[in-house]
A and B are shown apart, each in its own frame.
Chain A
Amino acid sequence: MTPLAGYLLVAALLFSIGLAGALTRRNAILVLIGIELMLNAANLNLIAFWRYGPHPELLTGMIFAIFSIAVAAAEAAVGLGLVIQIHRHAKTTDLDQMNRMKG
């Protein structure tokens, strides 16, 4: 098991946990938490590949990860703002009860 493989496995595990959380929890905020975990796992992947990749002097992985962090922050802000607005409307954040778009 190479170090890279170890990091990748950790990242995969993190990703799966985050996905599980996003898919199973009822609270909308918990879904966002799961999404944050998934993003972080991806970041870990990026940094790991940068560290053990062929051209670390290009800084591609690092910059990618930094941008990813920035974008994730912005997205978390907007997402949570949405959740707050939804809560004002429906007086709840329970995703099981939000099926007005049902076909």
Chain B
Amino acid sequence: MSLVFYILAALTIAGALAAVLLKNTVHCALALTVAFAGLAFLFLNLDAQFAGFAQIMVYIGAVAILVVFAILLTKNSETPKDGVFSHTWLVGLLVAAAVFAMLSWAILQSVSRLPQAMPAPTVTVLQIGEALIGRYALPLEIVAVLLTVALIGAVIVAMHEKEGIQ
């Protein structure tokens, strides 16, 4: 386990923590961006270059911006006066802890069966393109439809209600 991994992991987790714990919602969104970035570097570290750049472009470039827009449109830019955590935050924390415990137990108890270091694969964009069109054509089309629907849906959902206009 290389040092790079540790640093990148620490960065991602710090960003995630900040995104969840900070009081100001905008600060959370920005911390989220940091977490996304860390993840992208982790992808790069895993020799999944395309995934890493896709992560940067889509998540940081679109989703994070989207989140910021939503925050601004819902007037959440100020720090809220009463608490940011729910009354029953402990329960939620416990549930999350339970999930983490279960996950880590699952991972740790199968450590012996996990494969060791493997040689790095070389992945070209051409290969990805061929795979998309060839083997994964159906999922591609479905995702295309899904994106269309989501687009239309988001527009309709967020539209102002005006009289006489459907």
Interface residue ranges, A against B (CB under 8 Å):
1-10, 12-21, 23-27, 29-30, 32-34, 36-37, 40, 43-44, 47-48, 50-54, 56-57, 59, 61-63, 65-67, 69-78, 80-85, 87-88, 93, 95-96
Contacts and interface: CB of A to CB of B under 8 A. Distances in A.
* Interface size class, chain B: 35 or more
Contacts of A14: 12-13, 16, 35, 39
Contact of B128 (A50, A63, A73, A76): A63
Given A4-B115, A24-B85, A52-B115, A33 B93 contact: no
A4 B47 contact: no
B25 A12 contact: no
Contact of B19 (A8, A21, A87): A21
B151 A77 contact: yes
For the complex, would chain B's binding face be called helix, strand, loop or mixed by DSSP majority? helix
A6 B35 contact: no
A74 B126 CA distance: 25
Contacts of A29: 25, 67, 70-71, 74, 76
B51 A52 contact: no
A78 to B, nearest CB: 5
Contacts of A20: 20, 92-93, 96-97
